[in-house]
Amino acid sequence: MRKTILLLSLLNCCLTLPAFAATLAAFTPSLECENLIVEQINKAQISIDAAVYAINNPHIVNALLNARKRQVKIRILTDKLQASNKYSLVPFMYKNGLDIKVNSKYKIEHNKFAVFDYSAVITGSFNWTNAASLKNSENCLLITDEPQTVKDYQTRFEHLWLVNLKSKSDKRLEKK
């Protein structure tokens, strides 16, 4: 009887363990973060919402353009000064039909996160730039199987998208 109770206690313990989020950390200089982002973009079927300070990485931009061709809904919010940088690919993406806003609300749009299909988030210090991949010491974290965290990032993105004006953004990007 004691052995049965002990066995049932052990089984109960093991069967009621909490679920944990799946995370994967990557670091630069290397192609790890770039590859994680491109992989998530390529897997996306519904939507990609990204708030990213600087964008000039052609591999990431090409993956975004290909996702658009697959009818993935893409929204990108970026920093106004970085978008006007001579190396920025933001004007190129805008001219190629991606839905982009440049920050008009805050002094700097310094976020670096993306939500993929309402089910995964990549966040960290990694800018979507060549320097971030090849020269800088940066990090990124892929988070899956954590619905509340994904929802928190999606909610923040929706807020940022709402408070930054499309009319101001379009004027700035059309000048490029």
Looking at residue 176, what is its pLDDT?
67
Reported as a single tens digit per residue, the pLDDT across 1-33 is 555 444 444 445 444 445 567 999 999 999 999
Mean of the per-residue pLDDT values for the chain? 91
Return the half-sphere exposure (C-beta side, CA atoms, 13 A cut-off) of residue 63: 20
User: For residue 82, what pLDDT band results from cuts at 50, 70 and 90?
Assistant: very high
SS3 79: coil
User: For residue 61, what pLDDT band results from cuts at 50, 70 and 90?
Assistant: very high
Contact (CB, 8 A) for 66 and 40: no
Query: Can you tell me the distance from the alpha carbon of 99 to that of 74, in angstroms, rounded to the nearest whole number?
Result: 6
Token reading at 9: 């206690």
**For residue 112, what are the contacts with CB-CB under 8 A and spacing of at least 6?**
51, 52, 53, 123, 124, 125, 126, 127, 128, 140
User: For residue 172, what pLDDT band results from cuts at 50, 70 and 90?
Assistant: confident
Active-site amino acid positions: 110, 112, 117
Q: Which domains, ranges and CATH numbers included, belong to the chain?
A: 19-174 (3.30.870.10)
Reported as a single tens digit per residue, the pLDDT across 102-143 is 999 999 999 999 999 999 999 999 999 999 999 999 999 999
Looking at residue 173, what is its pLDDT?
87
User: Against a cut of 0.85, is the pTM above it?
Assistant: yes
